[in-house]
A and B are shown apart, each in its own frame.
Chain A
Amino acid sequence: MVDTPHHETHHHPERWNTRLGVILAVAGSAVGLGNFLRFPGQAAANGGGAFMIPYFVALLLVGIPVAWAEWTMARYGGGKGLHSAPAIYGVIGRGAIWRYFGAFGILIPLAVSFYYTFIEAWCLGYFWQYLTGGIGIDTAAPIDEQVATASAFYNNFIGTANDGLIFGGSYATLVFWVITFAINIWLVYRGISGGIEKFVRYAMPLMAVAALIVLIRVLTLGTPDPAKPDQSVINGLGYMWNPDFSALLVPQTWLAAAGQIFFSLSIGFGIIINYASYLRRKDEIVLSGLTAVSTNEVFEVGFGGLITLTAAFVFLGLTGTAAAVATGTFGLGFNTLPIVFAHMGPFGNFIAAVWFFMLFLAAITSSLSMYQPALAFFRESLGLSRKAGMALVVGICGVGSFLTIWFSKDGRFLGTLDDWVGTFLVFVLATGQIVMFSWIFGVKRGMKEAHQGAEIRIPDFYRPIIKWVSPIYLLIIFVAFCVMNLGDWIRGVGQQPAAQLALALVGAVAVMLLVMVRIGEKRWRAAGIDIDDRNPATYEE
């Protein structure tokens, strides 16, 4: 490997090669396991078809406007030659406080990658397992026995029984993690256009084809057991889509819908801020941002909303599907669906392999976007070469991932990172950045900036939405979320040493990032970069 890839020189910084490339990369970062596993469960548990009303309201009032704000801030910061959340937030917020706040935009993707790549390795492992014969579920056995087989495989694979299990025994999970991590690092090292863009241009269409194959199989299942005529595809769709309008009167439904939109679009993860900073000022962002959002919705509503629960219902019935949904995202994906695939007949293993390959693609297009912001920040703040910056990313993520994999008992380490970083800090970052964009950078200026090179106009009614509705909507969700969850979470941390260690790790990484922001601040000032946006005229065309 050479230190500087051929497409990146000092005179020609990294850029996306094509418009489609940046759209697919942002969409790929948003489409993840949650589209296929979390969304259907949330919808079914919160009003079925009626859930789509608060869901689309949240999409229009929070999802799309916040995405536009992120694209706009990123391209503006990128125009000053900056590509990391701390530097760009300093410009948009015009001051050091926002620069330090921007450290969350590096901490979140970095810490989420500690466990996300591990989950990604499960998908690869299951894919390989189904290519080579399945996980040993005997469909002739009683259903309890099938559930026990699937659970035993899953628990062994991810090491829930005890800490350190994955480092003993077959090492299979570890091997899949090493492969997954290596692919991620290699692609990110190859650069924005040479690695990430090239990969997503193949991975996203391939993911759509895989989803289509599984969808066609599920929709043609009919009524596989004549003895159970109620367990049909049509009734499976009804389980997910039949509306229960009384759910609309329950605040939890609206919170769940807003939360699903929020996490599904990866708003507030610090990813779009990095990806869209590699655009030029004349490059379109309004239509591009909308296209990335809508692509995510196709995978979520168009595929996730039709495949997962329909397949589960056809084989497990009403009670079994409800129980599967109650086990959560991972339980549904890695415990229940293997039983469903086992009942699909001679092609069951093939469909399962396609399904887990699709989940692997969904996960890797997301995890790539978690390493890239850290690499950009390390290089920008410390002045590191690509190789040195990548080595630092590998070192930090290696330690974080090792601890996540080692402390595998009951998934507490992983769960703590997911709760406090992948959920709580994401709320903090998303709320802070929309306040910064709307009230400091200014909606009027923001809209003018967004429309540079735009092919479609943001409707004028979005001005008050971006200024008032989106921030207030986010604040309400955030406060309600804290009221409902924080007490239990804090008690959980107090009782679990693994959770305390996870938070200590996050704290240590946060301190390191803050120090780097300080170092970067000095370097950027010394280089004459307008990091407080005192002179907007310094914007590069």
Chain B
Amino acid sequence: MTIGGWIFLGASLTFVWGLTIWCFNTVLRGAKIEPPPDSLGM
């Protein structure tokens, strides 16, 4: 594994994991979709 390989591996993982964690964190802090009145809910 070259230094370039580590850089690309690290940068790619940081990008995809960072974006996903930020997205889910923001989504889970947001409002839920209201369930329809006759639904069971989750």
Contacts and interface: CB of A to CB of B under 8 A. Distances in A.
Instruction: Say whether A associates with B.
Output: yes
Interface of A: 6-7, 9, 12-13, 15-23, 48-50, 52, 56, 193-194, 197-198, 201, 234-235, 237-238, 241-243, 279-280, 283-284, 287-288, 290-291, 294-295, 297-298, 300-302, 305, 455-456
A21 B2 contact: no
Nearest to B15: A56
B33 A17 contact: yes
B9 A237 contact: yes
A201 B28 CA distance: 14
A294 B42 contact: no
28 contacts: A6-B38, A7-B40, A12-B39, A15-B35, A15-B36, A17-B40, A18-B35, A18-B42, A19-B27, A19-B33, A49-B4, A49-B5, A56-B15, A198-B42, A241-B5, A241-B8, A242-B5, A283-B33, A284-B30, A288-B27, A290-B23, A291-B20, A294-B16, A294-B20, A294-B23, A298-B16, A302-B16, A456-B26
B8 A238 contact: no
Contact of B33 (A22, A48, A242, A302): A22
Interface string B1-17: 11011111101110111
Contacts of B8: 48-50, 52, 241, 243
A49 B20 CA distance: 21
A16 B33 contact: yes
Contacts of B23: 287, 290-291, 294-295
Interface of B: 1-2, 4-9, 11-13, 15-17, 19-20, 23-24, 26-28, 30-33, 35-42
Contact of A15 (B9, B20, B33): B33
Instruction: Pick from A56, A194, A235, A241 the residue with the most CB of B within 10 Å.
Output: A241
A243 B5 CA distance: 6
B26 to A, nearest CB: 6
A241 B39 contact: no
A123 B23 CA distance: 31
A455 B39 CA distance: 25
Contact of A301 (B2, B12, B28, B39): B12
B33 A279 contact: yes
Contact of B41 (A17, A287, A290, A455): A17
A48 B5 contact: yes
A287 B27 contact: yes
Contacts of A283: 33
Contacts of B11: 52
A16 B17 CA distance: 26
A193 B35 CA distance: 10
A216 to B, nearest CB: 15
Contacts of A301: 12-13, 16
Nearest to A13: B36
A291 B33 contact: no
A13 B23 CA distance: 29
A301 B9 CA distance: 9
A291 B24 contact: yes
Q: 9 closest pairs, A vs B, by CB?
A: A49-B8, A238-B1, A291-B23, A242-B5, A241-B5, A294-B20, A297-B16, A12-B36, A294-B19
A228 B17 CA distance: 33
Nearest to B19: A294
Nearest to A201: B42
Contact of B35 (A9, A17, A291): A17
Contacts of A52: 8, 11-12
A234 B12 CA distance: 17
A210 B41 CA distance: 28
B37 A12 contact: yes
B42 A21 contact: yes
Instruction: Pick from B16, B19, B23, B41 the residue with the most CB of A within 10 Å.
Output: B16
Contacts of B15: 56
Contacts of A279: 33
A50 to B, nearest CB: 7
Given A287-B27, A295-B20, A301-B16, A242 B35 contact: no
A18 B28 CA distance: 11
A49 B19 contact: no
Nearest to B11: A52
B19 to A, nearest CB: 4
Contacts of B26: 287, 455-456
A241 B36 CA distance: 47
Nearest to B38: A12
A298 B14 CA distance: 10
Instruction: Pick from A194, A279, A298, A456 the residue with the most CB of B within 10 Å.
Output: A298
Contacts of A22: 33
A16 B34 CA distance: 9
A243 B4 contact: yes
Contacts of B35: 15, 17-18, 193
A13 B39 CA distance: 10
Contacts of A290: 19, 23
A17 B42 contact: yes
Contact of B27 (A193, A201, A291, A300): A291
Nearest to B23: A291
B28 A242 contact: no
